[in-house]
Amino acid sequence: MLLVLGLLACAGRGQHAALGWSLGGEAHVFVADDRFARDFYRQLRGGSGKNVMDALEGHSLVAVDARRARSATVLSANGAAPGRLTLARFHAPRTCGYSGLVTELVFAFPPGGAAGRSAPPSHVTVVALLDAPPFAGGAGRSARALLPSESRALVRRVAERAENATRGSFLGLLHALVVDADQAADAGEVVPLGSGYAVGFRATYVTGGAGDTTLITGVAATDTGLQRLRWVVRPQRLRLVGGMIRRTNSGVRYSLRGTVAGAGGSALLLVDEIADVSPRDSRATAVDPETRRVVAAQPLALRCP
């Protein structure tokens, strides 16, 4: 615990956090970065022996005991828990739906105590903080969950505010909005966040052109009355042709997937960025709603065997 700048921190220069999931008392997080993989493998092996590409020759993955590395904080909706790094798996290029190397870090949680109470349950999204001293803490209090009708109304009001904030000429909403994080358009989601709510939305509007529509998408933090609304992801206008973003437009749609606990009772938002024009650029991200900073990101299509 006293070794603040250990192996993991040294290898993680420029890599401050990683996204992943939990399973049976463990957390598995993934870093899609060739330099991280090369540096961390070399440090785990004491700077001697094969490099990671040599070790992967003829193999889809190589596993290395990582118990010499320090603990890190793993965040989930349950709170913050120190996780002990036990294993690193290095996945060969193109084996995880990603062209480069992927490092999988496996963290275990000691039973009992504060860390045990805030450890993530199975099958939830987690964020591991790779370059900060470990800490434990429960999830902060959040506003009550809204009724479905209240959520739909809040998504519509936030989308209308976004249309007003980006307005050229007035646009009419094409369809009623539903609450569905998997629907590409005419939908949104609401997640309790502290004393208010985070709202993601993808709303289409009539533009007046034959068959053409405009999609407005973004993420806001707000109260139900929109008195304290601020943009976590500023709203964007994207022209749609046949329901798809034009190939000359590099914009993305935003889908809010939930939260994980942060330090001091705060929270990070889990936001998917879906790029229609270039799907390989789609990302899963963890975003600090106060600073709008992306804390962690990975390719949305990342799947390791």
Q: Give pLDDT tens digits along the chain (305 positions).
A: 333 335 565 565 556 899 999 998 999 999 999 999 999 999 998 877 789 999 999 999 999 999 887 789 999 999 999 999 999 999 999 999 999 999 999 999 977 765 678 899 999 999 999 988 888 888 888 899 999 999 999 999 999 999 887 766 566 888 999 999 999 999 999 999 999 999 999 999 887 655 678 899 999 999 999 999 999 999 998 887 766 666 555 689 999 999 999 877 789 999 999 988 788 899 999 999 999 999 999 999 999 98
- Residue 304 included in any domain: no
Q: 109 and 157, same structural domain? A: no
User: Which range marks the domain in which residue 285 is found?
Assistant: 148-299
Q: 106 and 31, same structural domain? A: yes
Q: 117 and 170, same structural domain? A: no
| pTM for the model | 0.91
Q: Taking the CA atoms of the chain, what radius of gyration do you get in angstroms?
A: 21
Q: 131 and 12, same structural domain? A: yes
- Residue 268 included in any domain: yes
Please give the helix or strand (H or E) that residue 63 lies within, else none: strand 61-65
- Residue 13 included in any domain: yes
What distance in Å separates the CA atoms of residue 34 and residue 131, rounded to the nearest whole number? 18
Domain boundary (118, 138, 158) is at 138
Q: 203 and 94, same structural domain? A: no
Q: What are the beta bridge partners of residue 173? A: 205
Q: 168 and 27, same structural domain? A: no
**β-bridge pairing 244-245 and 196-206:** unpaired
Task: Tell me phi and psi for residue 183, to 5 degrees.
Answer: -85, 130
Residue written as token pair 């790029």:
275
Q: 153 and 294, same structural domain? A: yes
Q: 282 and 158, same structural domain? A: yes
- Total domain count for the chain? 2
- Residue 1 included in any domain: no
Domain boundary (110, 138, 166) is at 138
Q: 75 and 165, same structural domain? A: no
- Residue 191 included in any domain: yes
Q: 201 and 254, same structural domain? A: yes
